[in-house]
Structure 1
Amino acid sequence: MTGRKDFLCDLKLSPNADYVTYVNNSNSQIRGYGTLNNGNFSISHFAYVADLKHNLISVAQLTDSSLRMEFCKKYSYVMTEDRKECFIKSLCNKNMFPLDVNMIIGKPQHCLLSKVVPDVSWLWHRRLAHLNFRFTWVFFLRLKSETATELINFIKGIEVLIKFRVRRIRSDNGSEFVNSTIEKFLTEKGINHNIIAPYTPQQNGVVERHNRTLVEAAQSMLNYANLPLYLWAESVSTLSMQ
């Protein structure tokens, strides 16, 4: 139960719902039921009691949601039934076991919730961000001088894969794209090289916007997971494979 309406998504109010009786024999009406979501798992049919001052949850309600609850002297754990993943580890406080959990406030944006099991939807959202990215080939280079080799190999490979010839490429005016090695290859293949004017990235807007989207989404994933920035390549690679 919770007194915070903003903790619940898909809240359905029930004017004729039951009452909750406290130890002092006072009672409060259950105003409705919704889904409680912290990003790792969700609990459905969670009661909303308007004047409740604390959030209460029963072990049975967790286990009914296909979760496993374990206790030891200092900690409590909420995990999957097979114990392969621990969602919450909470410290005992004066013989009480409060759940150390940050709830998602408000109703989440339904970017992929409609087709995914609720208790894993936000886990996949954090892993893959939004699913409206287009598929992208990304190559990570230590030096700009590696660009020519990677580009030539990519063009050769993609022509075999899709069984069509590459007719045109577009790039900025950087020396990694405008050099004798690449120009010789493109001339031999009959590929037109469209070079944008210097300092005008708006002429290559699709690539620039998509690159920015990938970089910002990768940074968000790393920040949320508290991972070091040197893993940005793995993060970008994960995003580009959608």
Structure 2
Amino acid sequence: LIEIVLFIVDSGYSKHMMGNLKLLINFVEKFLETVKFRNDQIAPILRYGDLVQGAVTIKRVYYVKGLNHNLFSFGQFCDADLEVTFRKSTCFIRDLKGNDLLTGSRGTNLYSITLQDTISPNPICLMAKATSSQAWLWHRRLSHLNFNTINLLSKNDILVGLPKLKFIKDHLCSSCELGKAKRKYFHSKLTPSSKRRLHLLHMDLCGPMRVASINGKRYVLVIVDDYSRYTWTHFLWSKDETPEVLIDFLRLVQGGLQAQVRVVRTDKSTEFLNQTLHAYFA
């Protein structure tokens, strides 16, 4: 026996609906809203699922108990970026590239689509589109993952908890823009900052290091001569030793090279801005 599933294309309903629970899979138990029939009877929508018929998969079809006809929502197709076209005797559901996904016929004043008659060499998946807030929420939850990959995870049901919706990128993510931004390179100086050795010294104190040296020292004082790029490295037990070690270094290097240190450039931290060094440089 071949079961023929007939859907009426309706512009008055906001969601796809049907009354046959046996045809739906991947249920989500959730109260959404209520539906009012023509006889004023009200029925709640307590769940929705996916309708699979052959090569066709319709996502997010609402189950309404007591509904005698299956309804395709004109609006839900449009929200999924699909085109719904009506002719005198037929109707078409197309993607944005103009490919026919579903074809229906007209009987009296109703347009209907029979899923059993739909023949396609490739699987067709009609997914409801996620709202903008849903799309960007999952974009952030997944560490700013690109939307093509998010849709792939959703379509193949790879990630637990990710709703089976079509996620649309409707604007640029400011965090992604900053993350991909590149800083412009500084242009090379035409004239060097220093004219000779020891004219300008750069220095910084690093630490405390997680791994101590052989002698148990966890701080490193690095001094670089701007003119020659020559580098000196001193290991310290604590940052309090910086003024004493620096003064001894300056006396030693100035005497050995017979040159005077003119400028010292630091990050202005407390190990360099203190009374001991202030008195020495005064």
Coarse TM-score class (shorter-chain normalised): 0.3 to 0.5
TM-score by length of 1: 0.40
Compare the two structures and name the one with the higher helix fraction: 1
Structure whose CA Rg is larger: 2
Compare the two structures and name the one with the higher strand fraction: 2
| Structure of higher RCO (CA pairs closer than 8 Å, 6+ residues apart) | 1
TM-score by length of 2: 0.34
